Structure 1
């Protein structure tokens, strides 16, 4: 069981601050890697930090777990936080995310293999031709990443 699940056993659904990392992986054709989540939303790969894990390691781990793509060096782009990002999940859990956004063009392996749980599809997309269902939050992050600039 993971850190967040253990924490929820103690605090229930009360609001917490959760720290996560997402990575805009950009290939040599200046395309960005997106994953399709089970709810049908296309997003940047990423997820929450585990205990003792750096944000950079979490970003690399999540990209690999969700898409099969391996990345090396990460560049810090921005940190998103605040009440506008507050989430209340269907199960009642409430949280304020702090999302650390990285980019990487240091692709060690670009073979895409989705996990079938957190990702049901993944691929590299031109910023000019993003798939239908790309999250508005991701659109904001992609603008910040500016991979075609």
Structure 2
């Protein structure tokens, strides 16, 4: 399913859903960031997605990271909360979701890098290499927030 991100865009469609979601900034022992290239928009992103009934937001971040990257993680901190009502995702099926996401800091504890149906590439990046990667603004903000050391951030 295709997805388009709108942030502070007057032409954005109005939101018709609000779904709790979690993502993770995963940092390995070499201080590299784990990113995936999304299959729905071709942009580099943190692993993450919608929370399921019966799980906590940290559980969601752990599950989504494993599903999308093959890496098992442990949550070790909070990067921030992201709830900008002027940031929506428009999906091909007509859903327009307002952002409601908590981004956690995590470290790898197992697994092996692997792509999924939601990703076309998964890699570890040195922080200095991340600025060159194509990302939607909301993901870039999370990465920048982490790299700036201003965490946790509440927006």
TM range (shorter): 0.7 to 0.9
Q: Distance in 2 between matches of 1:147 and 1:111?
A: 28
Q: Distance in 1 between matches of 2:22 and 2:50?
A: 6
Report the alpha carbon displacement of residue 92 of structure 1 after superposing the two structures with TM: 1.7
List runs of 5+ in structure 1 lacking aligned partners.
Answer: 1-13
- 2:87 aligned partner: 85
Report the alpha carbon displacement of residue 82 of structure 1 after superposing the two structures with TM: 2.4
Report which stretch shifted further, 129-138 or 119-128.
Answer: 129-138
1:45 corresponds to which of 36, 44, 47: 47
| TM-score relative to the length of structure 1 | 0.82
More helix by share: 1
Q: Distance in 2 between matches of 1:110 and 1:29?
A: 17
Report the alpha carbon displacement of residue 73 of structure 1 after superposing the two structures with TM: 2.9
Task: For 1:103-114, list aligned pairs within 5 A.
Answer: 103-105=105-107, 107-109=108-110, 111-114=112-115
Local SS of the residue matching 1:114: coil
Report the alpha carbon displacement of residue 147 of structure 1 after superposing the two structures with TM: 7.4
